[in-house]
Amino acid sequence: MNEERRQHLLESRFTRPQAIVDAATSRELHEPLTDDARLLIVAADHAARGALDVGAIPNAMSNRYDMLDRLVTALAIPGVNGVLGTPDVIEDLLLLGALEQKLVFGSMNRGGLPGAVFEMDDRFTSFTAQSIVQSRLDGGKMLLRINLDDPGTANVLESCAHAVTQLAAEHRIAMIEPFMSSRVDGRIQHDLSTDAVMRSMGIASALGATSTHTWLKVPVVNDMERVAEATTMPLLLLGGPRNDRPDEMFEHWEKTLRLPGVRGLVVGRNLLYPSDDDVTTAVKTAVSLL
């Protein structure tokens, strides 16, 4: 991130905010998807929940210029199809001209902050269906943590259902990331058993007045063959926390990507902040799996 680009971001946001709208309006969109398409989407919505750590490194994602530099590097590599982010990140990337011919997904509910007493309350505090349409994005992503012991889960289910309906009405993709979750010793934990993942998928698939534009973003767990059989909807694999055994991680991804219905990867920290800090090699390896 050279000084000229830094100044462009700072000055545009201070004196020319219309430049963001202009960049969104003039952006060249991604080509229509074909049946054999395999997608690599880079995720960059962690900071909105205050989740700045990467592995054992605290505040690794706190430097916005460094994060943007890593994102621009990743998005420039052939085979990377797009990005998932909150408005602040997406708008910075628009100003940097990094989203031409890319799929862009807006992260919608970031209100459940880690460690907060209200963590399970994943309120919609970011993109709305309307703003996704206005910004000419391809869809919206929502987190759905289902805690059967927390009455607030009902509100999250209802909010996600409304978002799915609104996005579908505008022919936009609703990317749902579901988990069966619980609070253990004050911390939220996801049940990553195969049965729990399939249960969460069944709940997420039925949200909204239609499922015509619903995609599911799921973790790689044991017995992914059963997971792939649990839905007819497009499946994207999430990267999860940084894995310091990248060869093992890539092997699991490669195997799962062969399954019917699995359409690609949505990965953040494992590509933007790999254990060896080599973003280009990590991203090219992920591309090769597709």
Chain segment 14-32, per-residue pLDDT in tens: 999 999 999 999 999 999 9
- pLDDT at residue number 186: 84
Instruction: Say how many residues make up the chain.
Output: 290
pLDDT at 246: 87
Tell which residue, 147, 128, 123, 150, has the closest CA to residue 139. Answer: 128
The CA distance from 140 to 124, in Å, is 11
Percent of the chain with pLDDT over 70: 100
pLDDT number for residue 80: 98
The helix (H) or strand (E) run that includes residue 167 is: helix 153-169
CATH assignment at residue 51: 3.20.20.70
**Any idea of the CA torsion for 5, 95, 47, 237, to the nearest 10 degrees?**
-120
Alpha carbon distance 79, 144 (integer Å): 29
C-alpha 220/C-alpha 204 separation (Å) is: 17
Phi, psi of 34 (to 5 degrees): -105, 165
Q: Rounded to two decimals, what is the model's pTM?
A: 0.95
Does a structural domain hold residue 203? Answer: yes
- Flag whether 30 is in a domain: no
Q: Is residue 281 part of a domain?
A: yes
**Which is it for strands 173-184 and 187-190: parallel, antiparallel or unpaired?**
antiparallel
pLDDT at 245: 86
Answer whether residue 231 is part of any domain.
yes
- Using pLDDT thresholds of 50, 70 and 90, give the confidence band for residue 57: confident
The pLDDT of residue 195 is 98
pLDDT score, position 16: 97
Q: How many CB atoms lie within 10 A of CB 241?
A: 12
Assigned domain for 145 exists: yes
Binning pLDDT at 50, 70 and 90, where does residue 243 land? confident
Domain assignment present for 2: no
**202, two tokens:** 């069944």
Q: Please report, in angstroms and rounded to a whole number, the separation of the first and last CA atoms in the chain.
A: 29
Confidence of residue 110 (pLDDT cuts 50, 70, 90): very high
How many structural domains comprise the chain?
1
101 found inside a domain: yes
Which of 58-62, 140-144, 207-211 is predicted least confidently?
58-62
Predicted pLDDT at 55: 81
Q: Which pLDDT value is given to residue 65?
A: 96
Domain that holds residue 188: 41-289
Residue among 289, 202, 204, 205 at smallest CA distance from 254: 289
Is the pLDDT assigned to residue 67 strictly greater than 90?
Answer: yes
What is the structure's pLDDT at 289? 93
pLDDT value at 240 more than 90 = no
pLDDT at 244: 81
Please tell me the predicted confidence (pLDDT) of residue 217. 98
